[in-house]
Amino acid sequence: MLALFLRDIRLNIRAGGGALTGVIFFLAVIATIPFGVGPDLKLLARIGPAILWIGALLSCLLGLDRLFQADREDGSLDLLVLGNDRHMLALTVLTKCLAHWAGSVLPLVVAAPLLGLFMNMEPLSIGATALTLLVGTPAITFIGAAGAAVAVALPRGGLLISVLVLPLTIPVLIFGVSASYGATANPDPFLQPFLILAALTLFLAVLGPVSAALALRHGTD
Amino acid sequence: MRLIAENLGGERGGDTVFSSIGFVLEDGQALLVTGPNGSGKSTLLRVIAGLLPVAEGSVRIEGVAKIEDGGEAFPSIASACHYLGHQNAMKPVLSVAENLRFWRDFNGDGHADVEEALETVGLGGIGHLPFGYLSTGQRRRAAIAKLLVSRRPLWLLDEPTAGLDKASEGGFAQLMGKHCAEGGIIVAATHLPLGLDGAKELRMGASPSPLWGGSIREAERGGGLE
């Protein structure tokens, strides 16, 4: 399993990997918002956490279609599925998800505080948003894995995956953003939505890989 | 160990590709699956491996040594086999050695060293090159080295010699002979003679049509052992 994790991380980092694509897309989205919204610093600071979350969500979805497709194209997926008796397929999928998250999504979380400055956010708000992103984005990857597994045989499945997955990520977005706001806006709670967000991630860490494994098993035609 | 197929049928997208195929392979035996394009050779291999559902009949392994007897237990065919498909299952951006090391770690049951396996297939000294830099034949040889780094009693080979030159074909025939001599079983789909002595042959698809050499429909009549 460690071997698979390291291999996927290496693939992500080396030429042709998707590690930078997501970050650059994230940067592009966030950098254009102030131009569109206008130079109202108060407004920017207020919508900042929501914009960061939406940007991160869309950037997460960007690289998901390659999660299994690359392995399918070169035949590795068949061998990963055949290894089911040694490494349960759901665990293989979970490992691939974690590697994908560490390689492609973690850079987004790291970049988020910097992009928060573009949105004129306070340090506390920036910290809270980065923390919620850190806890919440794995959930998006896990849901996305199920979508990617369903669409693995489709040659241009990227858009389909986004459409399939987007409605399911809405709860993650809602609790992520409300926890980010809770850190600064006084009457709103931070801890409750944050814990629900963590619970969502843990819940989807089981449900996502299991359903993705099921889809992959039946998609080996 | 025995590989037993009884009255086996396979389908693709709802159409029957072949049916009523039966064979028994003992330790050290090899089966060549031949036949025209589209007669279901690859489908048969994928059905045996468990990548495609069995449409009818059954395929199973028997007589695997128990763990208590010092042997390894294989709960299914999938866990007992190496499947070498049309694609090589190697990543072009990783080096050949990195690819092999990954499959060795992932598949377990380490057998030959990565370097040793590369020497065996005649790729010694180029393990550091990215897999994408290799020629078609070299890629195939690297994929064959993948069979050597982990031990599996059953080899399922789909056109294993595609892209290999004459010398490498000979080398590969020796490797297969060695595998059989050690009690392994080979099922290979092929158009070319593989140079395996004493291999059984399973001819898929009956009489080839004069124009295109058989069709999918003809395969429904089923093949038999010769």
Work out the pLDDT band at B155, boundaries 50, 70, 90.
very high
More confident: B31 or A13: B31
8 Å CB contact between B187 and B173: no
Work out the pLDDT band at A19, boundaries 50, 70, 90.
confident
**B152: number of Cβ within 10 Å:** 20
Contacts across the A-B interface (CB distance below 8 Å): 76
Contact B93 A16 (CB under 8 A): yes
Contact B94 A14 (CB under 8 A): yes
Of B79, B88, B98, Cβ closest to residue A74: B88
Q: What is the CATH number of domain B2-225?
A: 3.40.50.300
pLDDT at residue A111, rounded to an integer: 92
Work out the pLDDT band at A213, boundaries 50, 70, 90.
very high
pLDDT at residue B219, rounded to an integer: 42
Here the ipTM equals 0.85
**B183: number of Cβ within 10 Å:** 12
The pLDDT tens digits of the residues spanning A26-64 come to 999 999 999 998 888 889 888 999 999 999 999 998 888
Q: What is the mean pLDDT of chain B?
A: 82
Provide the domain limits for residue A162: 2-217
Question: Residue A120 has which token pair?
Answer: 């004129």
Q: Which chain B residue has its CA at the smallest distance from A15's CA?
A: B93
Rounded CA separation B8/B20 (Å) = 5
Work out the pLDDT band at B63, boundaries 50, 70, 90.
confident
B11, pLDDT greater than 50: yes
Contact B102 A7 (CB under 8 A): yes
Q: Which residues of B touch A (CB under 8 A)?
A: 12-13, 46, 49-52, 74-76, 78-79, 81, 83, 85-94, 98, 101-103, 105-108
CA dihedral over B123, B124, B130, B133, signed as positive or negative: negative
pLDDT at residue B212, rounded to an integer: 44
Dihedral of CA atoms A140, A77, A93, B61 in degrees, nearest 10, equals: 150
Q: What is the largest CA-CA distance in chain A?
A: 58
Per the structure, the count of domains in chain A is: 1
Nearest-Cα distance to chain A for B210, in Å, is 30
Interface test with B, best of A69, A77, A85 (most B CBs within 10 A): A85
Taking phi over 0 as left and psi of -120 to 50 as alpha, with beta for the rest, B28 belongs to: left
pLDDT at residue B71, rounded to an integer: 54
8 Å CB contact between B187 and B156: yes
pLDDT at residue B102, rounded to an integer: 92
B217, pLDDT greater than 70: no
The pLDDT tens digits of the residues spanning A63-78 come to 888 889 888 888 899 9
Of B79, B89, B102, Cβ closest to residue A86: B79
Query: In this structure, what are the phi and psi dihedrals at residue B30, rounded to the nearest 5 degrees?
Result: -125, 150
8 Å CB contact between A63 and A18: yes
